[in-house]
Each structure stands twice: as structure tokens, then as C-alpha cells.
């Protein structure tokens, strides 16, 4: 229905309403006896009211048209939105199908993980038992370590004591080396074993370094005398230590040494004699070597003869 049709319908509705609004009025009912004059006045009024109504209707129609345009825009927007939603719904349906497949795979994976979890729980229980055993073993190991540390402290103390003993032994070894050097020097001048003898009526006059003798006829006034000297040897019984002792014996004035010897006695061992030799015409020397603890007596003998004028 267009505007003109709507306005005509509204005019007819207004005129019909005006004509039939005062039924029974006519020529006799008018105040001046002029029925058409009254009708004309009413028509004028109706025309004015009709103009106002038409203007109002036109305004309303304009508003309706504007609202219709806006609704068409909204409808077009909604149709576009619906089309986009249909695309999204289609996409979502595809995604749902994909997610359904993924969910099935995840379910299978979860079942596999549950199986692995059960196996892991069993292994964890076994590991816990192993850990408990290791804790006990660690406690025993700690106790052993503590005991070993105590032993180490004791051993270190013993090592320190041994270091001190080693230092003492080193000093004594140095002294022994000096004594051995002295013995070796004295051994270079030792007297060889006497091998020569003199016939009856003669006596030994000289003994050379090789042990050979020179004889001379006995003198009726010649005399032989034996002299001896002794020295005590003490060796520390707390450690094993060698000790070298030198003992000398000389002839009296007017006598010459023609021989010599030695003897060693003691309750804890006798030791060894390394050298027995004359150091001059009137002196005899004995060098003893002892390598065990105890007290001993080293005796040196010298055989002397009187020097003839």
C-alpha cells in the first residue's frame, strides 16, 4: 500500500466519522436553518484535521521507511553473519570430526600410558626396596668410614712417630757411615795374618804388612810380655742398630809389639771383629762390629818384646 492509498483511506474514514457523528440533525436541527453551512464548517475542520493527520501519517511513514531501510541493512548483515556462521559451523564440524579422531587416539594413548604407569609403579616399588637396602648399606659404609678415619688418625700418629724414629735412625746411619769410612781407612793399613815362623833359638824381630817375619837370634836377656786392654760395648736394645768399637793396647816403654789378638764375650751375643792389626811398633788395634742389643766386653791383646840395646 502506497502513501496515496493510505491517505485516501484515512480521509474517507474521517468524513464518514464527521457525517455520522450528529445523526438527526438537518434543516430543522440547525440553529439558523442552513444545514449545508454547518456541513461546510465541519468539512473545513475535517480538512484541517485531515491535513494534520496526513502530515502525521507521512512522518510516521517516513520513520517506517527509515526503520525498514535499517532493518534491511540489519537483515543483510544478519544474512552475511549467518553465511559466515554456516562456514564456521562447517569448519567446526570438520574440526569436531578431526578432534574425535584425535580423542580416539588420545584414548588409546591414555590406555597405553596407564599400562606404562602400572609398570612404572611396580618398578618404583622395586626401586624403593633397593633404596632401603642402599640406605642400610650406606649407614654401614658410614660406620666403616668412621672406623677407617679413626684408624687413619692412629696410623698418622704412628707415621709421625716413625718419621721421628727415621730421623734418629738417619742420624745414626750417618754416624755409622762415618765409622765405616774410618774402618775402611784403617783396614787399608791392617796387618795381614802372620804366616812365618822362626827356628829354635831365634825369635821374630819384625813382621811386615804381608805377614812375613824377620827372625833374629835369641838373646839370653830377651823377654816377652803380653798386655791386654778391655772396653765395654753397649748397644740400645729398643732398636736395631749397628755399632763399631775401636780398642787399642800399647807396649810399655822399652818394648816393641810383635803380635796381638782379641776376645769378645757377653750374655746377649758376641758380634764380629772386623780388624786386628798393629798401628805402630808399640801399639795393637782391634775394631769390633756389633749388630744386636746388649752389653759386651771387647778385650785387646798385644805381645811385646824388650828392645835390645
DSSP-assigned letters across all residues of 165-223: HHHHHHHHHHHHHHHHHHHHHHHTTPPPPP-----TTEEEEEE-TTS-EEEEEPPTT--
DSSP-assigned letters across all residues of 3-47: HHHHHHHHHHHHHHHHHTTSTT-STTTSSSS-HHHHHHHHHHHHH
Task: State the pLDDT at residue 239.
Answer: 46
Task: State the pLDDT at residue 112.
Answer: 92
Residue of 307, 309, 203 whose CA lies nearest to 255:
307
Identify the three-state secondary structure at position 177. Answer: helix
Task: State the pLDDT at residue 30.
Answer: 47
User: How far apart (Å, rounded) are the C-alpha atoms in residues 44 and 29?
Assistant: 20
> Percentage of the chain surpassing pLDDT 90?
20
Task: State the pLDDT at residue 6.
Answer: 52
Task: State the pLDDT at residue 21.
Answer: 42
Give long-range contacts, CB 8 A cutoff, 24+ apart: 167-171.
169/239, 169/241
Identify the three-state secondary structure at position 107. Answer: helix
Quote the cell numbers at residue 214: 824377620
- Bridge partners of 213, per DSSP, are 207
CA Rg, the chain, in Å? 76
Task: State the pLDDT at residue 222.
Answer: 57
Decide: 251 and 302 in contact? Cβ < 8 Å: yes
Residue of 212, 195, 215 whose CA lies nearest to 305:
215
Q: How many CB atoms lie within 10 A of CB 180?
A: 14
Sheet with strand 243-250: strands edge to edge: 243-250, 283-290, 272-280
Q: Report the Cα 232 to chain-centroid distance in Å.
A: 63
Q: What pTM does this model have?
A: 0.32
User: How far apart (Å, rounded) are the C-alpha atoms in residues 173 and 241?
Assistant: 9
Decide: 270 and 296 in contact? Cβ < 8 Å: yes
φ and ψ of 180, to 5 deg: -65, -40
Q: How many CB atoms lie within 10 A of CB 65?
A: 11
Each residue's pLDDT tens digit in the chain (309 positions)? 454 455 455 555 544 444 444 444 444 444 455 677 788 888 888 888 888 888 898 898 899 989 899 999 999 999 998 999 899 899 999 999 999 999 899 999 999 999 998 998 999 999 999 999 999 998 999 999 999 999 899 999 989 888 888 888 888 778 777 777 776 766 666 656 666 677 766 767 677 767 777 777 666 555 666 666 555 555 554 445 567 778 888 888 888 888 888 888 765 555 678 888 999 988 999 888 777 767 777 888 888 887 765
Decide: 225 and 239 in contact? Cβ < 8 Å: no
Amino acid at each position: 500500500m502506497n502513501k496515496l492509498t493510505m491517505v485516501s483511506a484515512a480521509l474517507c474514514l474521517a468524513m464518514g466519522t464527521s457525517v455520522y457523528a450528529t445523526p438527526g440533525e438537518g434543516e430543522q436541527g440547525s440553529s439558523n436553518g442552513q444545514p449545508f453551512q454547518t456541513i461546510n464548517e465541519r468539512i473545513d475542520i475535517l480538512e484541517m484535521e485531515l491535513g494534520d493527520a496526513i502530515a502525521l501519517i507521512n512522518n510516521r511513514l517516513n520513520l517506517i521507511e527509515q526503520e525498514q531501510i535499517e532493518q534491511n541493512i540489519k537483515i543483510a548483515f544478519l544474512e552475511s553473519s549467518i553465511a559466515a556462521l554456516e562456514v564456521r559451523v562447517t569448519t567446526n564440524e570438520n574440526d569436531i570430526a578431526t578432534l574425535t579422531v584425535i580423542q580416539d587416539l588420545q584414548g588409546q594413548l591414555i590406555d597405553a600410558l596407564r599400562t606404562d604407569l602400572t609398570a612404572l609403579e611396580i618398578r618404583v616399588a622395586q626401586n624403593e626396596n633397593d633404596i632401603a637396602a642402599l640406605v642400610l648399606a650406606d649407614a654401614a659404609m658410614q660406620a666403616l668410614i668412621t672406623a677407617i678415619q679413626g684408624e687413619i688418625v692412629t696410623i698418622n700418629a704412628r707415621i709421625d712417630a716413625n718419621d721421628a724414629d727415621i730421623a734418629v735412625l738417619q742420624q745414626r746411619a750417618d754416624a755409622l757411615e762415618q765409622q765405616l769410612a774410618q774402618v775402611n781407612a784403617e783396614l787399608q793399613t791392617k796387618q795381614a795374618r802372620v804366616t812365618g815362623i822362626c827356628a829354635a833359638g831365634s825369635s821374630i824381630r819384625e813382621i811386615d804388612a804381608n805377614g812375613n817375619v824377620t827372625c833374629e837370634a835369641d838373646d839370653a836377656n830377651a823377654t816377652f810380655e803380653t798386655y791386654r786392654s778391655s772396653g765395654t760395648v753397649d748397644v740400645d736394645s729398643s732398636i736395631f742398630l749397628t755399632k763399631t768399637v775401636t780398642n787399642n793396647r800399647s807396649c810399655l816403654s822399652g818394648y816393641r809389639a810383635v803380635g796381638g789378638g782379641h776376645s769378645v764375650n757377653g750374655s746377649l751375643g758376641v758380634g764380629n771383629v772386623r780388624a786386628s792389626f798393629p798401628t805402630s811398633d808399640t801399639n795393637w788395634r782391634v775394631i769390633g762390629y756389633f749388630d744386636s742389643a746388649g752389653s759386651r766386653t771387647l778385650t785387646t791383646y798385644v805381645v811385646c818384646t824388650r828392645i835390645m840395646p
